A and B are shown apart, each in its own frame.
Chain A
């Protein structure tokens, strides 16, 4: 089943979507979209450093994304600039430094477009092993830490008062995001990673009554977007990474048209 490049792309993409959906729910709930973007943009810096230092690329990207998240926390504590401005600085400067460093690398031929927009059709069996190994680890951590993660998302004060540790939850989420970015970069590229986190989760909101349901629906919708996008890209010969995102967007737009207002509770008046 790993024989041809198209099945490998499908398997890899679906694996990624199943992890990105549930994690993406937290990104949406905690309003971390721009934060995710910033971590993703830093992935290119991770790629450049990995090549220069000859270390494993997945590890390099993970380390740089985690460092950027840590840097943001430290800068936030100083409270001089707004988080918004800090994210803008970190996001674009890490991307720019990454691009400049890539220019210095002459030993290896670098497919810059592949890193920016992904090259899902080039995934190897080894890549699939990394995606599924990493993906299962991420999901297991997410499930084990689910209750405290959700409680500190709803109210950090409440979680803290009842003996949970919201700071630890925040750290766990950042590490999980850095991991997803590390395994997703090769598939959809640094510029499109956060769309796989956010769009399926945002779509799932209208179809869900509980957080757990939203996580599951987001995973399924993400997988549908990957399959639809890949078949679309094969049919119309379009770029595969962007096609997946366009498919996710189409599902989102369709979900807006579906009248789900009376599906749950006493009526979702806030959804209109």
Chain B
């Protein structure tokens, strides 16, 4: 794959907005996602993260502005908190072909890639939160998507599981060169590999690299000093390697009130 192909733009939103019944859900969103790029949307509830993601995937049409998508763009979607009722018998094997037809070898390869090969025959209702999330990643990846949309991918997963899932996202980005659009309700942890963080509050309130957003006055205004103080930027090497730009290792949320004693010395 040459450098140009890697940078192929998948989606461009220009000044895009959605109004429903006279109410503006989100407005003035500029956003591009290219191959191999990770874009994270953060913001409080009702700030328009999901609406923006739906604009990007084409589920919603913009009321104002424009959305350009690469023709034939293939999307893989990892949903937020999917609960599958007991009445629906579903094995992992069967879940993999939910929206498309794939061979047994493709299915095992996709599960292998997320370290869930042994779950092939398990019923989805029996999986732990982390296992289920991995399987959902595999299901999205088997489509070989151009764009992977992750809707709050680590919700309901414990901290070590969360770290492992972020590793997985990074690995997917590196090996497949998919573009990744991540929606995060969690203001505290943003992957360091994120190329652009877009902080929404009905409009784009600030944007940039994770460390730039953390320092931006708009972010501080929206979420307060305390929240900003606890914005941990998750990095792959979580063994006390800190970068000069002030990125710190992700903390368990229960540490938020403790001022990040053992990780905060590189804040800056």
Q: Which of B119-166 contact A (CB under 8 A)?
A: 121-123, 125-126, 143, 149, 151
Alpha-carbon separation in the docked complex, A31 to B85 (Å) = 10
- CB closest chain-A residue, reference B127: A266
Q: Is the CB of B82 within 8 A of A155?
A: yes
| Selected contact of B87 from candidates A28, A160, A210, A266, CB within 8 Å | A28
Q: Is the CB of B143 within 8 A of A162?
A: yes
Contact with A along B82-112 (1 / 0, CB 8 A): 1011111111001101111000000000000
The reply on A269 being an interface residue by CB < 8 A is: yes
Q: How many residues of A contact B (CB 8 A)?
A: 34
Alpha-carbon separation in the docked complex, A97 to B197 (Å) = 59
CB neighbours of B88 from chain A (8 A): 29, 153-154, 211
B39: min CB distance to chain A, Å: 16
Q: Given A209-B91, A213-B89, check contact A162 B76 (CB 8 Å).
A: yes
The reply on A259 being an interface residue by CB < 8 A is: no
Q: Is the CB of B121 within 8 A of A265?
A: yes
A148: min CB distance to chain B, Å: 8
The reply on B219 being an interface residue by CB < 8 A is: no
A113: min CB distance to chain B, Å: 33
Alpha-carbon separation in the docked complex, A207 to B265 (Å) = 58
Most buried by A among B54, B85, B86: B85
The reply on B67 being an interface residue by CB < 8 A is: no
CB neighbours of B86 from chain A (8 A): 205, 270-271
Q: Is the CB of B87 within 8 A of A29?
A: yes
Q: Is the CB of B143 within 8 A of A267?
A: no
Q: Which of A156-176 contact B (CB under 8 A)?
A: 157-164
| Selected contact of A158 from candidates B90, B97, B99, CB within 8 Å | B99
Q: Is the CB of A210 within 8 A of B99?
A: no
B117: min CB distance to chain A, Å: 15
Q: Given A157-B79, A158-B79, A265-B126, check contact A29 B99 (CB 8 Å).
A: no
Q: Is the CB of A266 within 8 A of B90?
A: no
Q: Is the CB of B75 within 8 A of A270?
A: no
The reply on A264 being an interface residue by CB < 8 A is: yes
The reply on B51 being an interface residue by CB < 8 A is: no
Most buried by A among B59, B88, B100, B125: B88
The reply on B57 being an interface residue by CB < 8 A is: yes
A252: min CB distance to chain B, Å: 13
Alpha-carbon separation in the docked complex, A214 to B85 (Å) = 14
Q: Is the CB of A159 within 8 A of B123?
A: no
The reply on A51 being an interface residue by CB < 8 A is: no
Q: Is the CB of B79 within 8 A of A266?
A: no
B152: min CB distance to chain A, Å: 12
Alpha-carbon separation in the docked complex, A153 to B82 (Å) = 11
The reply on B77 being an interface residue by CB < 8 A is: yes
CB neighbours of A148 from chain B (8 A): 99
The reply on A208 being an interface residue by CB < 8 A is: yes
Q: Which of B215-240 contact A (CB under 8 A)?
A: none
Q: Is the CB of A161 within 8 A of B91?
A: no
Alpha-carbon separation in the docked complex, A264 to B92 (Å) = 12
| Selected contact of A266 from candidates B57, B99, B123, CB within 8 Å | B123
| Selected contact of B126 from candidates A202, A211, A266, CB within 8 Å | A266
- CB closest chain-A residue, reference B139: A158
CB neighbours of A147 from chain B (8 A): 97-100
CB neighbours of A157 from chain B (8 A): 77, 79-80, 151
B130: min CB distance to chain A, Å: 16
Q: Given A29-B85, A205-B89, A208-B89, check contact A155 B79 (CB 8 Å).
A: yes
Q: Is the CB of A210 within 8 A of B90?
A: yes
B251: min CB distance to chain A, Å: 30
The reply on A130 being an interface residue by CB < 8 A is: no
Q: Is the CB of B77 within 8 A of A161?
A: yes
Q: Is the CB of B75 within 8 A of A154?
A: no
Alpha-carbon separation in the docked complex, A151 to B94 (Å) = 11
Q: Residues of A at under 8 Å CB distance from B?
A: 28-29, 31, 147-148, 150-151, 153-155, 157-164, 202, 205, 208-211, 213-214, 264-271
Q: Residues of B at under 8 Å CB distance from A?
A: 54, 57, 59, 75-77, 79-80, 82, 84-91, 94-95, 97-100, 121-123, 125-126, 143, 149, 151
